Amino acid sequence: MSGLTIENISMRFDLPNGGSVQALKDVTLELKPGELMSVLGPSGCGKTTLLNIVAGFLAPTEGRIAMNGHTVQGPDAERGMVFQQGALFEWMNVRENVAFGPRMKGEREAQYGANVDHLLDVVGLGDFKDKAIYELSGGMQQRVALARCLANDPDVILMDEPLGALDALTREKMQSLVLKLWKETGKTIILITHSVEEALLLGERLLVMAPRPGRIHKEYRLPFADLGVDQDLREVKKHPDYNKTREEILAMIWDMEEEIMGRTEESA
Amino acid sequence: MTILAIYVAIFIGGFFAVKYITASARPNDYTSLKTVTFGDESAVRPNRAASIISIVTIFLLWASFTGSNLIPSFLHAPAPFTGTGVFTYTVDVGGKTDEGTVTVNVHEADGDATVPEVAPGDGFAKNDSVSIVKYRSKLLRVDANDEVGRDDGAQIVAVNGKPIAPGGEVMTDFARVAMTPKGTLNIEPKTGWQMQPLYLPPPEKVASRLVEISSTGFRNSTLWEHLGYSLFRVIVGFLIGAAVGIPLGYAMGLSNWFRGWFDPVVEFMRPVPPLALIPLVIIWAGIGEVGKIVLLFLAALWIMAIAARSGVSGVNITKVHAAYSLGASKWQIMRHVIIPNSLPEIFTGARVAMGVCWGTVVAAELVAAEKGAGMMIMVASKFQNTDIVLMGIILIGVIGFSIDVLMRWAERLLVPWKGRS
């Protein structure tokens, strides 16, 4: 079976003070190849934990992750990851960063060179190949991170708030770029974000998670990602359903946040 | 006190002078347009004019207070009196007085030490003469050659016409003349404000020593051998220390067992100053090369181990995660992520270690060595060759500074991303 299957994942770990935390409870999901799912939720709902489990950086206490039929045991090149920031290698220039994955596989310049250059052109960094990482702006750095992930040709791309540290304008441009890359490459993408707008615009499927314990609260299927591939994102935002869904999700998360606040006040 | 006052005066005077001169030629770059400079560290740049004036001032003060012939004599601090000085003394014998003169030849240590010949003169007080080395004083029993001596009731009552009594003193134009309780005159020619060469030789003497020692050597070794030996010990000790310390630090950063095993050792040894190990190292390994290198190895080892360890712990976990999900193996993570990521820390450690090693080698050579910069100044100080001591200190400083400049240059070249991520 192809695609990514998340089966009854639970995550519970002990704290140094003797207590324990239930970070995730019974999360089950299935992603078909080429789906783009955005994950939204108040802080502490375990979305980053879920992503780390899918990436293979954490082992779940219960359940299993299956990728193309085999169980995930640890990080692997088939599941690429794009981080919020700080994941680029400063001791390499832009091109060397992008070529990192193929080089680790033992490929030669002749094998990966053309693809790396092509990807750099796609993300608009064709003229910055030889620049050092610290010479680039935040948006450019994230484009390098995207290109680096794509150069490795993973089946699934996991994005942990990749645009979270960018300013609003750069962020909008990058959202278009993500959609364009998604359509062109046909990758399966899981995108974690704090921004409801971003989740709506980019997510073909949108997962709202609830905290304590982290679990799936509601799932949406949205048309906006497909619209955004050809249209300006600002046009997409004018879609009648967009604002309705946005208000609905915001209210949902707002309730969750209030519930958390209330619970902390009770315990305090 | 005077020197400090002059120094402060030049500091303040230079500030206003430079401010006045450069007031018209104000640069128009971004930083100089900042109005908030007090509290904005980035707006504070060293004033190069101040640096130059500072160095010139130090040399000027040095030259001035040592009577250096590198600067015109009007800049000299008052020099000690040399040459011939004369004063008179008055003897009283039962109400009868007579005057005699004392002619004093104050000469350089290696100068003409002949006692001036003087005519005895008339009266019962006969003229005297004496020869004194610069900076020294001499007791002179002026009545010894008089017709009536101290035992016959003669008493000196005045010097240069000013009354004097036992225990008192009179300042003449060239000397302080004091009288001991028994009535002997103590002649102290004026010493001026200059330092004696024993305490501080003039710059040109230090320079000529440098030329002399670099051509003829010191203690059977040339200057370059002395300095070369010190440098050789530092480099070998540092390299061995780094070769052991860096892998040790990596192991401590990557393995629980290594961290637990070596943590107590490293944390205990780190605060022990290497100088405190000198006696032990001498007992174990003697005063030869092995002992020195062992000492410097120990000095560099802990610093490098800690630098490498914090270089590994300092790696951003997202970099490691990113590399793993790009398909890198453990060995590739080590080679392409952990080692390059730790280089800035290692360079910082290496700079500190080289500084500590250079200080330690000089100290170790001060204690015991056959060759080396520290040994050179130690032996020179025993023979009161202050000029060699000064020359050695300056050379040690220059070499230490050059090492640091070289390390910084290498750092910029090899880890250009340092502090910029």
For A112-121, A246-255, B26-35, B150-159, which range has the lowest pLDDT when averaged over its residues? B26-35
Structure-token pair, residue B261: 């095993």
On whether both B350 and B405 belong to a single domain, the answer is yes
Question: Taking CB atoms and an 8 Å cutoff, what residues of chain B touch A91?
Answer: 340-341, 343, 415, 417
**Residue B194 located in a structural domain:** no
| CATH of the domain spanning A34-59+74-78+157-267 | 3.40.50.300
Q: What distance in Å separates residue B75's CA from the closest CA in chain A?
A: 54
Question: Taking CB atoms and an 8 Å cutoff, what residues of chain B touch A148?
Answer: 322, 326
Q: Alpha carbon of B305 to those of A116, A166, B37, B291: distances in Å? A: 38, 38, 40, 21
Question: Residue A217's CB: how many other CB atoms inside 10 A?
Answer: 18
Comparing CB atoms, the residue among A55, A86, A132 nearest residue B416 is A132
Q: Which of B94, B81, B107, B236 is nearest to B174 (CA)?
A: B81
CB-CB under 8 Å, A75 with B324: yes
On whether both B248 and B101 belong to a single domain, the answer is no
Asked which of B21, B41, B75 is the last residue of a domain, the reply is B75
Q: Yes or no: say if A53 and A65 are a contact pair by the CB < 8 Å rule.
A: yes
Q: Which residue has the higher pLDDT, A9 or B33?
A: A9
**Residue B197 located in a structural domain:** no
Partner A contacted by B337 (CB < 8 A): yes
Model's pTM, two decimal places?
A: 0.81
CB-CB under 8 Å, A91 with B341: yes
On whether both B335 and B363 belong to a single domain, the answer is yes
On whether both B50 and B95 belong to a single domain, the answer is no
Question: Taking CB atoms and an 8 Å cutoff, what residues of chain B touch A55?
Answer: 321, 325
Q: Give the C-alpha separation, B113 to B95, whole Å.
A: 37
Comparing CB atoms, the residue among B319, B327, B416 nearest residue A104 is B327
Question: Confidence band (pLDDT; 50, 70, 90) for A265?
Answer: low
Question: Taking CB atoms and an 8 Å cutoff, what residues of chain A touch B318?
Answer: 83-87
Q: Give the C-alpha separation, A10 to A61, whole Å.
A: 6
On whether both B137 and B99 belong to a single domain, the answer is yes
On whether both B184 and B70 belong to a single domain, the answer is no
Determine the pLDDT at residue A2.
Answer: 65
Report the CATH number that the domain containing residue B239 is assigned in CATH.
1.10.3720.10
On whether both B104 and B67 belong to a single domain, the answer is no
Structure-token pair, residue A61: 């206490």
Question: Residue A43's CB: how many other CB atoms inside 10 A?
Answer: 10
Q: Which of B86, B171, B98, B89 is nearest to B129 (CA)?
A: B86
Q: Give the C-alpha separation, B43 to B30, whole Å.
A: 10
Q: Which residue has the higher pLDDT, B271 or A69?
A: B271
For A174-212, the pLDDT digits (tens) are 888 888 888 888 888 999 988 888 888 888 888 888 887
Determine the pLDDT at residue B22.
Answer: 82
Q: Are strands B155-159 and B138-140 parallel, antiparallel or unpaired?
A: unpaired
Q: Alpha carbon of B90 to those of B59, B101, B124, B168: distances in Å? A: 47, 9, 11, 15
For B122-154, the pLDDT digits (tens) are 788 888 889 999 888 989 888 888 887 778 888
For B170-181, the pLDDT digits (tens) are 988 888 999 998
Q: Provide the chain A residues 65-94 that lie in CB contact (below 8 A) with chain B.
A: 74-77, 79-81, 83-91
On whether both B124 and B70 belong to a single domain, the answer is no
Q: Which domain holds residue B348?
A: 204-414
Question: Confidence band (pLDDT; 50, 70, 90) for A266?
Answer: low
Q: Residue A169 above 80 pLDDT? A: yes
For A250-264, the pLDDT digits (tens) are 888 888 878 777 766
Determine the pLDDT at residue A1.
Answer: 47
For A136-161, the pLDDT digits (tens) are 888 888 889 988 988 888 888 999 88
For B316-339, the pLDDT digits (tens) are 888 999 999 898 889 999 999 999
Asked which of B40, B75, B110 is the last residue of a domain, the reply is B75
Q: Interface pTM (ipTM) of the complex?
A: 0.89
Q: Domain residues of chain A, as ranges?
A: 34-59+74-78+157-267, 86-153
For A69-83, B7-21, B31-45, which range has the lowest pLDDT when averaged over its residues? B31-45
How many residue pairs from chains A and B have C-beta atoms closer than 8 A?
80
**How many structural domains is chain B composed of?**
3
On whether both B283 and B208 belong to a single domain, the answer is yes
- Identify the helix (H) or strand (E) that includes residue A188: strand A188-192
* Mean pLDDT of the region B76-83: 87
CB-CB under 8 Å, A90 with B421: yes
On whether both B58 and B105 belong to a single domain, the answer is no
Mean pLDDT of chain A: 84
Q: Provide the chain B residues 279-318 that lie in CB contact (below 8 A) with chain A.
A: 316, 318
CB-CB under 8 Å, B421 with A134: yes
Partner A contacted by B80 (CB < 8 A): no
On whether both B313 and B228 belong to a single domain, the answer is yes
Nearest CA in chain A to B421: A134
Asked which of B189, B222, B240 is the last residue of a domain, the reply is B189
Partner B contacted by A105 (CB < 8 A): yes
Q: Residue A168 above 90 pLDDT? A: no
Determine the pLDDT at residue B232.
Answer: 93
For B289-309, the pLDDT digits (tens) are 899 999 999 999 999 999 999
Q: What distance in Å separates residue B383's CA from the closest CA in chain A?
A: 55
On whether both B122 and B149 belong to a single domain, the answer is yes
DSSP string over B299-326? HHHHHHHHHHHHHHHTS-HHHHHHHHHT
Residues 6+ apart with CB under 8 A from B54: none
Determine the pLDDT at residue A17.
Answer: 87
Question: Taking CB atoms and an 8 Å cutoff, what residues of chain A touch B327?
Answer: 76-77, 101, 104-105, 152
* Mean pLDDT of the region B27-45: 78
